[in-house]
Amino acid sequence: MILNLRNIRVRTPLPRGTVLWTPRGTILLFSRACLATTLFVMMGTLGPSVYAAEGGQTKFQRISTQFVAALGPPGASSGNGAQSWGLWPLDPGPRGVRLSRFEQLEKAGGVAPARWTFDQTDWWLEEHGLIMEQPSFPIPPGKYLVTGDREVTTVLTIHPADKDGNRRWELDDLATLYDVTHLACRSARYIPTTSDRSCSPVNVKKTAFPVARGAAMPTVKGCKKQDYAVLFVIAVAVEDEGR
């Protein structure tokens, strides 16, 4: 699958003279986390893109693709709880560990070849059965240009935490979380239901993989599972030095 921004419908209306800039550039193979779709991501020459948002102009800087782990109703355009959303600044797929190599991972003290550390009390799987590193929590407040590599690319706003620690999120122009979810990328978080070590990748049924597009990740004995939607971040808002 090719991520072609020129063919993606932008849901937020653009006033005359506003440009969503798609530079020429190289392409980067997306992670093994979505190997079934063989996604390529445009990296491009770094430079500001101008995108209309909230009646004004917000400048977005093209970045190497990052990945949001999001929670919320698929049909929602806004909501609370973004403090529970995570961000993988680096592609977690190629940095993952196969279930068949979990014993070696344990012998290495939980340190993966990519130098991240496995946490027995909080671990992640993707749709091909790779153990992934945890995303960074919480996703920082700001504006992100996100896509699910289907029809919609739009602005995701993560608001700062309120006095109770809650962070609101919202998508522009009533785009829904489903609209910007990459359906082929599945991810889930596994946390023990008891204090012992019964929640382990050893208990994962390898026949459950690969997980079908849009389907739920498998349950694991001894674990509480939480499925997350995966969104691609292709640009982030930058401050306008002229203001």
Between the alpha carbon of residue 91 and those of residues 94, 170, 191, 218, the distances in Å are: 7, 24, 22, 22
Q: Examine residue 138 and say whether the peptide bond preceding it is cis (omega within 30 degrees of 0).
A: yes
**Average pLDDT of span 118-138:** 97
Predicted confidence band at 55 (pLDDT cuts at 50, 70, 90)? low
Rg of the chain, C-alpha, whole Å: 19
34's tokens: 């979505």
Task: For residue 68, give the nearest of 208, 161, 194, 171 by alpha carbon.
Answer: 171
Residue carrying the six token digits 């997980």: 211
pLDDT of 186 > 60? The answer is yes
CA dihedral 68, 58, 158, 94 (to 10 degrees): 10
pLDDT of 103 > 80? The answer is yes
pLDDT tens-digit map of 187-233? 999 999 987 788 999 999 999 999 999 999 999 999 999 999 999 99
Predicted confidence band at 30 (pLDDT cuts at 50, 70, 90)? very low
Q: Is residue 48 part of a domain?
A: yes
CA 92 to the chain's CA centroid: 10
> 112: domain range?
5-237
Q: Is residue 16 part of a domain?
A: yes
| Structural domains in the chain (count) | 1
pLDDT value at position 104? 98
Predicted confidence band at 58 (pLDDT cuts at 50, 70, 90)? confident
Q: Is residue 243 part of a domain?
A: no
**Average pLDDT of span 128-135:** 97
Return the amino acid letter for 113.
Answer: P
Pick 198 or 54 by higher pLDDT: 198
pLDDT of 38 > 90? The answer is no
What is the C-alpha separation between 45 and 59, in angstroms, rounded?
Answer: 15
pLDDT of 97 > 50? The answer is yes
Residues facing 125 on adjacent strands: 131, 188
Q: Is residue 125 part of a domain?
A: yes
DSSP 79-128: ES-GGG-EEESS-SSTT-EEGGGHHHHHHTTTB-TTS-B--TTSEEEETT
Q: Is residue 233 part of a domain?
A: yes
36's tokens: 């079934």
Do β-strands 130-132 and 97-98 pair in parallel, antiparallel, or remain unpaired? antiparallel
**Average pLDDT of span 117-143:** 97
Q: Is residue 106 part of a domain?
A: yes
Specify the pTM: 0.80
pLDDT value at position 51? 52
**Average pLDDT of span 16-23:** 35
Q: Is residue 45 part of a domain?
A: yes
pLDDT value at position 195? 79
Do β-strands 27-29 and 97-98 pair in parallel, antiparallel, or remain unpaired? unpaired
Between the alpha carbon of residue 214 and those of residues 58, 148, 182, 184, 228, the distances in Å are: 32, 12, 8, 6, 11
